[in-house]
Structure 1
Amino acid sequence: MIYRSFIISSFIAVNALILFGISQTLSFLNTGADRSMMLHIGVKNKQAYMPTVEWKDTINPARPIEKQTMFNIQKDYVNSWYVRNVGYTTYDSLGIFDFYTESARKHLVDGIHFNKTNDLKIVSTTLDHHLALDFYSADGQLVVFEDQNVRAYTQTFKKDSLQFETITTASYKIAMLLEDGFWRVRHIVKQPNSHITDTVKQKKTSYVKGNQIFVNNQPYQIKGINYYPQETPWDMFGEEFDISTIRKDFEIIKNAGLNTIRIFVPYDDFGKEFVQEVKLTKLQEVMDEAESNQLKVVLTLFDFYGNYAVDDWTFTHRHAEQIVSSIKEHPALLVWDIKNEPNLDFENRTKETVLAWLKEMIYQIRALDDEHPITIGWSSIESADILSDEVDIVSFHYYKDLAEFSESFKSLSSLDKPLVLQEFGLSSNKGLWSPFGNNEKDQAAYHEAFLKIIQENKLHYLSWTLYDFNNIPSAVVGRLPWRKNAQKHFGFIDAEGNKKDAFQFISY
């Protein structure tokens, strides 16, 4: 009986396994392959690359091209550049099989193999594409088009050491085939560049000539302050946004004899590459209130951003594009400030990577708005001359000993650019966490002395900051209580709303 039971049980188990295997095989054969699963880098699930793309010509006499077809061609073509760049960076050619035909991908795979063998790594991204349709077949299976004046940034590494970086402009003729419902690159041939005619605007609302700033053709001296509302520091456009509070603060600033404010656009909070309309509306309201109080605005575009990686560039370009396009016509706008204290990221992100991102961002913003000057808010006077040839205004922050300022400032005196002391101040934080710190009288004496230096050197200035704050986010200065406490007391007005001794020296 035991023997018979074993035989019967084994028979049932074997047949059950066979039936299960057959059912799984049939299920697999009856299910279409999910391309997003095949393409491991996930460009199907999440747009991982967002260069500027425009169709300059879509006329095709043989057969009109449908809008959906144009969208599909554009999407798969842009993704073909992305997987190619990823392949050269990671030596992984899997994504290339999704976006290139068999004959086209052979050259790419060979190139990736060559780079891997020779320990070369190419980090690259394209920044804009201008497409012009040449031919679309009657059967809808073949498309030929040009991609004119493609701007690309490339870093070349040898054994993880950066050898050189380049920005190139090239044009291409592309043939794509429709295979398995997806457009794949069949040929891509480099062409002579097309000429781009830039439209030169004569009228500028604010501009730089030599070492002077002009607004409406009149010399303009920046006398200003960095601004956050007292109750929402570093979260000005958040859930507690209150335009009536901002209106009252701008009146205080105007009545104190100042003419400029500096405000900040937090990259993540605004939605990164997909800027939220509600945030743009709040920013417009702030700009309107500044204009109502005859205040000009220095607008910092990238606060709390620290990636700079080449594969992140197109996302930051879309962020800047939406902010700049929305604000560039506003009469209160004075200067675009690209990034707050980017030199603090040199160690973690490498100086070369940060500077490359800054230079390209300057180019992008000038392409969107050539009427307003551009600056970068360096954290120290020693870094102020970095990219001085690229920017219109040289801006720097100073929180060191006041007695050392004049000597340090001499290094900038030869620059024929407007010089802006973009942040400076002293915390009146003497107390439990800083028994040897400065009190309010020390703070007042500091600002009185600094204003004399500012006047002597005809410096543009923006002090830090209007208010003392009750709460400082840990993301700003960390969690250490003595650092937080110091940051709370830089204001000219204390936490109870009383003007401190330094307020009389907020302006000269």
Structure 2
Amino acid sequence: MINLNKNIIRSILIPSYVLIIVIIISGISSLFAYLNTGADRSSMLHTKLEKIEQYIPEVTWSPLNNEGRPMDEEVLKKIENDYLDAWYVKLVAYKTNTTFGIKDYYTDNARENIFAFIELNVKEKVTVESTTLNHNPTLEFFSEDGQLAVFTDKDVIEYKRVFKDEKLILETTEKSTYKIIVLLEDGFWRIRHFVKERSERFKTEPDLIAAEYLNIKGINYYPQATPWDMFGDAFLINTISNDFKIIKDSGLNSIRVFVQYDDFGKADVDKEKLEKLRLTLDAAEENGLKVVITLFDFYGDYSVLNWTLNRRHAKTIISGLKDHNAIVAWDIKNEPNLDFDSRGKVNVTSWLDNMIDLVKSIDPNHPVTIGWSNVQSASILKDKVDIVSFHYYEDIKTLDLAIENLKKEVGEKPIVLQEFGMSSYAGIWKPFGSSEEDQANYHKKAQDIIAAYNLQFMSWTLYDFEAVPKEVVGSLPWRKNVQKRFGFIDINGTKKSAFKFISQ
């Protein structure tokens, strides 16, 4: 029995010993392999670089005419990429007051000032949120050995917010010029010399468009079968064109459509979606309708570091469509004031201000507006927009007073009642709701007020919907069911009583 137990123990210990030896040898081999290969630089970075997802400012190089060795376009692109990465890690460092990533993009000499700046900010409880929007570098020298490059980055547009004890103390936009020296080390271009040569406050004053000539009498539009997914897989241009004919025949002259930021590919705009939007504009023009395009629908992140992505998105869409005859105006954002509480009013209005400047710089020929969710917010940025737009779903009896007060605030600037309407839903989830007759009376009164004040308008909306995505009003049935019945045409395609008052 004793010998049997010894044999059992021996049969267990020997395989265990062999397994331990194998693990140790494997570990030593892995360590040896790692020490004999260059470490992956991306794994060394504490700050994960996703420049294409975070930071893509506009970069325009001057024509190459540098001293020294001729510059290869591929090498120049590598310098540009590493230079922008260096900017990005510095922007993150100043926002977080940490030094992660700095050593990977700056040499010992260049990082001293950055470390000192962060140390001072930590001591003073200061943080800086910033980004750059434009770079205009000129290559001046490229060494014969291909290891050193010198360039000047002119008219760098920098937006900054400075916080002390988490309170905003400064918001500014600057135009600066930098002298840069980069060295090639370990296959990467690191900044050796980074000096700001000059800086001045930068403030754009884009020309306002006299939009009094507009006469917008329109409606917010989604196809009945695909609300909030107009440009998806079920996109049917014939259905849209037929709807546009109904709208035109009703006496209206314009529509408002929505471009969802994520749906259209964020910074890398989906070409197929953009083409569907272009086809929609073609159909509008064929039916004699003008189009207000609302940008950035369902977008709610106004972080400064994301501004360059937002600008790339807007630039692609506006540049591609600005010459289309159907365009009547650009709407920067739908109901941005709903984000004031969650995102901060300063963050939202600063983003809007910057986006207005961008849109006007790309397309100076069409007016710009913002679709505020209520009349109380409508005067925000009134001096930057060409048209003041607001939405109104409150008691129709107080609309007169709301318009009078707004006119006092915005003066002679054109006003558009951009969304208004009443649901005809009355059911289990809202037993004391409104009938189709109530809806008709509402629109009759609304059109009387619109006529009295000579307002431009865009009602909500052409159709009742069978389904409403929960992302729009949430999943609560008493909200979703009400949202389904704002249309002038019911789910069976029958015109409701309110259709008589779709226009004046």
TM range (shorter): over 0.9
| Deviation (angstroms), 1:109 | 1.1
1:253 aligns with 2:259: no
| Deviation (angstroms), 1:7 | 12
Give the equivalent residue in structure 1 for 2:89: 83
Give the equivalent residue in structure 1 for 2:491: 495
Would you say the 8 A contact 1:174–1:188 is kept in 2?
A: yes
| Percent of aligned positions that are identical | 50
Equivalent residue runs for 1:71-150 within 5 Å:
71-150=77-156
Q: 1:427 aligns with which of 385, 402, 423?
A: 423
Distance 1:48 1:402 in 2: 44
Distance 1:13 1:442 in 2: 81
CA deviations 1:168-216 (Å, max 9, x no partner) are: 11111111111111001111222346999x9x99xxxxx832xx43xxx
Report the TM-score, using the length of structure 1 for normalisation.
Answer: 0.92
Equivalent residue runs for 1:311-326 within 5 Å:
311-326=305-320
Give the equivalent residue in structure 1 for 2:214: 220
1:375 aligns with 2:393: no
| Deviation (angstroms), 1:432 | 2.1
1:62 aligns with 2:68: yes
Give the equivalent residue in structure 2 for 1:204: none
Say if 1:306 and 1:7 are closer, same or farther in 2 by CA, change over 3 A.
closer
- List gaps (5 residues or longer) in structure 2: none
Would you say the 8 A contact 2:328–2:367 is kept in 1?
A: yes
| Deviation (angstroms), 1:61 | 4.6
Distance 1:7 1:288 in 2: 80
1:462 aligns with 2:458: yes
Distance 1:300 1:7 in 2: 73
Say if 1:346 and 1:81 are closer, same or farther in 2 by CA, change over 3 A.
same
Q: 1:500 corresponds to which letter in structure 2?
A: K
- List gaps (5 residues or longer) in structure 1: 202-206, 214-218
Would you say the 8 A contact 1:171–1:194 is kept in 2?
A: no
Distance 2:261 2:20 in 1: 60
Distance 1:256 1:58 in 2: 59
SS in 2 for 1:50: coil
Would you say the 8 A contact 1:299–1:336 is kept in 2?
A: yes
Equivalent residue runs for 1:255-270 within 5 Å:
255-270=249-264
Say if 1:380 and 1:47 are closer, same or farther in 2 by CA, change over 3 A.
closer
SS in 2 for 1:208: coil
Q: 1:463 corresponds to which letter in structure 2?
A: S
Distance 2:476 2:16 in 1: 68
Q: 2:121 corresponds to which letter in structure 1?
A: N
| Deviation (angstroms), 1:40 | 2.5
Give the equivalent residue in structure 2 for 1:208: 209
Say if 1:45 and 1:75 are closer, same or farther in 2 by CA, change over 3 A.
closer
Measured on the aligned residues, the alpha-carbon RMSD in Å equals: 2.4
SS in 2 for 1:224: strand
Q: 2:140 corresponds to which letter in structure 1?
A: D
SS in 2 for 1:55: coil
1:441 aligns with 2:462: no
Distance 2:445 2:20 in 1: 92
Would you say the 8 A contact 2:464–2:485 is kept in 1?
A: yes
Distance 1:9 1:471 in 2: 64
Q: 1:137 corresponds to which letter in structure 2?
A: S
Q: Which moved more, 1:106-115 or 1:337-346?
A: 106-115
Would you say the 8 A contact 2:110–2:192 is kept in 1?
A: yes
Say if 1:184 and 1:46 are closer, same or farther in 2 by CA, change over 3 A.
same
Distance 2:111 2:32 in 1: 32
| Deviation (angstroms), 1:395 | 0.3
Distance 1:380 1:47 in 2: 33
CA deviations 1:139-172 (Å, max 9, x no partner) are: 1111111111111111111121222211111111
Count residues with an aligned counterpart: 493
Q: 1:486 corresponds to which letter in structure 2?
A: V
Would you say the 8 A contact 2:172–2:201 is kept in 1?
A: no
Would you say the 8 A contact 1:177–1:186 is kept in 2?
A: yes
Equivalent residue runs for 1:191-202 within 5 Å:
191-192=197-198
Distance 1:394 1:195 in 2: 28
Q: 2:175 aligns with which of 164, 169, 173?
A: 169
